[in-house]
Amino acid sequence: IDPFLCTHLIFAFAKFKDGELIEVSPSDIKIYGQMVDLKLKNPALKVMLSVQRGFSELVNSDDDTLKKFYKQAIHYLREYRFDGIDLDWEFPKANEKEKYSRFLK
């Protein structure tokens, strides 16, 4: 991958269950490292982890489950040296708008 081709690279997709990111395969971890190491050639490159599916369940969770997700997501991003997270929630329900705003805060 040419590290100057894009400003951001997004690894798709991490998954979560019951408010926790599910541990990935060794091959995914290897790819994480390869993607993040591209920043050695282009320090301005941002490498992010995309999380998909299950957001309706998560945003409707209680505060303890949300706190568990936040804490675990931050740990995961730091452990694998990602610059940020992409929340790929494609089809939220109309009544979940306020809950999603609360989730993002």
Q: Where in the sequence numbering do the catalytic residues fall? A: 90
Name the CA radius of gyration of the chain, rounded.
15
* Calpha distance 15→93 (Å, rounded): 20
Provide the Cα torsion 74, 62, 54, 89; round to 10°.
-70
DSSP code at position 2: -
Check: CB of residue 10 under 8 Å from CB of residue 49. Answer: yes
